[in-house]
Homo-oligomer: A and B are copies of this chain.
């Protein structure tokens, strides 16, 4: 181990092993996770060794190979889909595995299909006798599902639906696993019966032959080509021309087309969006928080190995993590990784409560769940994408090399801001809920406990009198609450004003959209800070860990006030003098947390293989590994044909040496 890195581990103010166990939810789970990771990583089938050198085709092949062998591996290891090990497998594979949309195909059948449909399709799918995809997005429509143009017309005589792509913009575009793998897909289409449109519904459609994988009649499908990342995924396009499917292929847990064309519904139309809601929540941990934790691990370890320039003349060059500017880049991202790990727990709980109710066909909590899953998906993905970007940039040139592992983390997490709902649209959905609740609360109607604070919004002043007061969670949580409530109420007032001055309701909404999105973000930021503070508060028993978590919570909160000063200063809730106290407390925290920075990322417990980074390995042998890995690049395998073709004719008549 590089001595500069080793020395960082001597002085941890807490037990790394205990922190890991706490993050995992107990030492037993840590053991299980490690066993799963070890089983996967020691199997060469799942190696990611040459990943950074592979073409899109090679990465697709590797991803399919891994997905298929995973079935065998699970059988061999005695892991089941319901078992406790299951959730660690994806983390162990570190992402590049096929058939994630196949899982969403299965999930949508389980949620939206009848018992009969589940009994027919799920066993086939779970053994890969069929491979499914989830075809919702079209070339011309993403977030606005009502605008989807694919049609499914019920033919009473044949007892079939006839599916069509009426124009190019209606082509399904983006669905994963569809470009080259899927045999089946859930297609969302506008249902027409006797010429009347009943809105979008999900249909199971076979697209490729199970004998030779050729496209079925009426189907045009393929891969949409290269993307900024996800080289391993065969995101696809799909055109349907008079494709007929039996009546039984419409997913009909909540509604049905009866043989005579009669349409019956038992649940909310909104339940069709429920798959998306679950996906939004479930992606936060693996697709968003884990990448940030990895990026922090890589960047922080590198920053104590890298020495550059001198803090004092005559001394040895300093570790770059000893520069305040480097601390100010990385440590808030580390704090955010923890903050969002905890918000993920919070959302999971919210989801579990709602899911139980939905099982009893009670849809009352859907609006709150939808608003929260939307807003947090937007806020967390945006924050974390920016966090990974900061980590990458903080590693300078070497961060920019694929061998650092950071560009692939970054280009992948970047997509999370776009998929499963564009973030601005999602924030506006949250804003709509907040405005409704604010209106309701203002007139004394009941609102969910998470938003009762909106009613209490009024002018006030932050009571802090010195910089230490800003290390009191009540002080900063209150400030966030005040700011969120102010932004919601002032957006509501602005809306009111516009409407009263004669602007149509929809125009008024659009003219306030920037401020509404800002208010929704402030609400999510507030809940994140509050939840972090409460998590730390609950941690009474483990003093060493509680102390460092308290520092991280303070840092997360004060960084947010420092970086968004305008929101807090605007109405004088925080004064300029108090902002100087915030800045002082914030900057004071940096060297404190810096001391524990390496143990804090060690506690995330990533193996070298899962980081796949020349900069971030546990042993800190950064330069050796960069050199060793670079030599394996295909660009060094042989002399480029460019030499013979283009350079030799120019250079050849010279002496070998000038």
Contacts and interface: CB of A to CB of B under 8 A. Distances in A.
A403 interface: yes
B640 A402 contact: no
A274 interface: no
A567 to B, nearest CB: 7
Contact of A510 (B142, B171, B209, B324): B324
Nearest to A415: B400
Given A65-B642, A576-B571, A647-B68, A226 B403 contact: yes
A465 interface: no
Interface in A357-412: 393, 396-397, 399-403, 407, 410-411
Nearest to A635: B223
A325 interface: yes
A225 B633 contact: yes
A210 B651 contact: yes
Nearest to A144: B309
A328 to B, nearest CB: 5
B565 A143 contact: no
B323 A635 contact: no
B401 A224 contact: yes
Given A143-B308, A226-B403, A419-B397, A634 B56 contact: yes
A648 B210 CA distance: 8
A1 interface: no
A424 interface: yes
B623 A656 contact: no
Contacts of A171: 623, 627
A6 B639 CA distance: 50
A652 B212 CA distance: 7
A418 B400 contact: yes
A84 B624 CA distance: 47
A517 B656 contact: no
B324 A650 contact: no
Interface in A127-163: 127-131, 137, 139-144, 147
A397 B510 contact: no
Given A168-B623, A223-B635, A180 B640 contact: yes
Interface in A416-456: 417-419, 422-425, 428
A149 to B, nearest CB: 11
Contacts of A418: 393, 396-397, 399-400
Please state the number of chain copies in the assembly.
2
A336 B234 CA distance: 37
A566 interface: yes
Nearest to A570: B576
Interface string A564-590: 111111111000100100010001000
Contacts of A630: 222-225, 237
A228 B514 contact: no
Contacts of A650: 68, 127-129
Contact of A129 (B131, B312, B654): B654
A641 interface: yes
Contacts of A627: 139, 168, 171, 237
9 contacts: A52-B225, A129-B654, A130-B651, A143-B308, A223-B635, A225-B403, A227-B402, A325-B517, A565-B566
A14 interface: no
B401 A226 contact: yes
A635 B56 CA distance: 7
Contacts of A183: 651
A126 to B, nearest CB: 12
A511 interface: yes
Contact of A635 (B60, B576, B636, B643): B60
A230 to B, nearest CB: 9
A468 interface: no
Contacts of A422: 396
A67 B570 CA distance: 55
A55 interface: yes
B506 A226 contact: no
A599 interface: no
A241 interface: no
A330 B645 CA distance: 44
A646 B656 CA distance: 52
A645 B45 CA distance: 14
A476 interface: no
Contact of A228 (B206, B312, B400): B400
